[in-house]
Amino acid sequence: MRLKDIETWVTVPPAGIGGSFWIIVRITTDDGITGLGECYGIPVSGNIACQMVEDTFARFLQGENPFNVELMFRRVYSAGFTQRPDISMMGVFSGMEIAVWDILGKALDQPVYNLLGGRFHEKLRTYTYLYPKQTDFRGNPLDAEHDVYHSPEAAAERALEYINSGFTAIKQDPAGPYSFQGGRELSLHELNRCEANVRAIRDAVGNRADILFGTHGQMTTSSAIRLAKRLEPYDPLWIEEPCPPDQMDAFRRISQATSIPIATGERLATRQEFHQCLKTGVSILQPDIGRSGGIWETKKIAVLCELFNAQIAPHIYCGPIAHAAAVHVAISSPAFLILETIQTEFHDQILTRQPMWQDGYVIAPKEPGLGIDIDLDVVLTHPYTPGGRLHLEMCQSVIPSDNKKTSAELAEDP
């Protein structure tokens, strides 16, 4: 059995939730077995990302035995004389590697987690972001009344809706825009809004759910510590990526200054970077399997957690194929904590067979491979325009120190 052909597609989630586009990969072997994969966050136009995937497959994977996962990883990890964690190449490789594991599971008639050590968890606890009910194509709320990011009342109301549907943990980021400028000191307005939102959610949900405080590298070290002190009375399960991902010593200082666990990982790749995180005191790792190196590399990251008495909470801001892959790693990992989940109509439509979600938990699938099938007609009816928006985009404005504006308002500034 050899890897023979690859197909790639870019599809656009109409609500803008899960990113501006998803890169879907399908690999076929010379004996006709197909595998699905998904690349996360390659920072170029979707059509260019597909070309990168196809070029890398032709150079390093085509004609290879799919069991040789380590060999293929080292080839791509070293591509172009790199041999270091490269966000773009790891995004490219991860999607293909996920498809390879789907092939292996089908060839052996086993769910992928049985090839990773077997089933440790029968079901996986999940959480969701507080997504607005109605959004524009960027995922922003359509009206201020239901702006869960900036209105404590809207956030509390939406949190209750999610909890009543079965979730036992919810996450949001009311901290303010994240910009290309890197870490900054949050304004008093932003600090007050963060505390007000968390207080309103805690008052509404009581002890029925954990609160996960998501940020996206907006803060300096000192600002993150100031925010953490405000949030400690509401006992969040974590503060996520409080400072830019290239500031490892900042993670150390923040983790030493607060009782709230520090989580990070969506912008990191391979066990090398996650090992550095663990050494700083980060206690919850959040690899996104479509970028972190794929299934086998993410399994290694989960094993690293055990050595540091830490846990893994896979990040998911993408489509359902990467989510399905993360399910298999999590099911086989003793260090698993909780799994991010996105439930939208489009996430459901794009698959004809998908993991079972029940009362806030994903149930371990029993089907071979990833246990999913794709509806290609749905994929093709939501095409990407070449040169369109990137998967995720940061605010391209410098944020003033007294900022009161939302991300959408800053994006409209000249």
Q: Residue 414: which pLDDT band, with cuts at 50, 70 and 90? A: very low
| Span 250-272, average pLDDT | 98
Query: Would the pLDDT of 101 be above 70?
Result: yes
Position 59 in a domain: no
- The verdict on residue 407 lying in a domain is no
Tokens, residue 118: 């077997």
Q: Say yes or no to pLDDT of 309 above 50.
A: yes
Residue 222 in any domain: the answer is yes
Quick check: is 411 in a domain?
Answer: no
- In a domain, residue 3? The reply is no
- Stretch 289-305: mean pLDDT: 98
- Determine the average pLDDT of the residues in 150-158: 93
Q: Using CA atoms, how far apart are residues 53 and 47, in angstroms rounded to an integer? A: 10
Question: Does some domain include residue 57?
Answer: no
Tell me what the mean pLDDT of segment 148-157 comes to.
92
* pLDDT tens digits for range 349-402: 999 988 898 889 999 999 999 999 999 999 999 999 999 999 999 888 888 888
Residue 91 lies in a domain: no
Residue 87, classed as helix, strand or coil, is: helix
Query: Quick check: is 4 in a domain?
Result: no
Rounded CA-CA distance 147/299 in Å is: 37
Q: At what angle do helices 320-331 and 87-108 cross, to 10 degrees?
A: 70
Q: Tell me the residue range of the domain where 183 lies.
A: 114-370
Cα separation, 2 vs 29, in Å, equals: 5
Q: How confident is the model at residue 137 (pLDDT cuts 50, 70, 90)?
A: low
CATH number where 233 lies: 3.20.20.120
| Interatomic CA distance for residues 370 and 112, integer angstroms | 6
Output the pTM of the full model: 0.95
Instruction: State phi, psi for 9 to the nearest 5 degrees.
Output: -140, 150
Percentage, residues of the chain above pLDDT 90: 86
Total domains in the chain come to 1
For range 212-237, the mean pLDDT:
97
pLDDT number for residue 133: 78
Confidence of residue 140 (pLDDT cuts 50, 70, 90): low
Tokens coding 314: 């896979």
